[in-house]
Amino acid sequence: MKKEQLSYIVIKISQLDNIDFNEVYELKDTVRKSVDNSEFILKWLKGAPTIPESIEAIPESDRGNILTHSQAFELMQSEAWQPEENE
């Protein structure tokens, strides 16, 4: 599977238990979390369905917009998602 075939979304950590992990390419124990542990990101196969039911059921105020792979990659490079390296 090519990365371009995936869609991504950022969701508030309080919604983690509401995700059906059979619908996405993540495991609950290994989802990528923001440095402050307030959000996590999920990925799923684009268009199958457009957005998984368990994600669609989350209030829009608790989830971001759907991202492409390049948008998600850019976000993951930000300070909010990259832990500081110890020198």
Percentages (nearest 5) of helix, strand, coil residues in the chain: 30, 20, 50
pTM for this structure? 0.87
pLDDT tens digit string along 45-79? 886 557 899 999 999 999 999 999 999 999 999 99
User: Does residue 23 carry a pLDDT above 70?
Assistant: yes
Average pLDDT of the chain to the nearest whole number? 90
Alpha carbon 76 to chain centroid distance? 10
Question: Given this model, what pLDDT does residue 86 score?
Answer: 63
The domains of the chain are located at 3-76
Question: Given this model, what pLDDT does residue 5 score?
Answer: 86
User: Does residue 87 carry a pLDDT above 60?
Assistant: no
List strand residue ranges (DSSP E) for 1-87, in order: 6-12, 32-33, 39-45
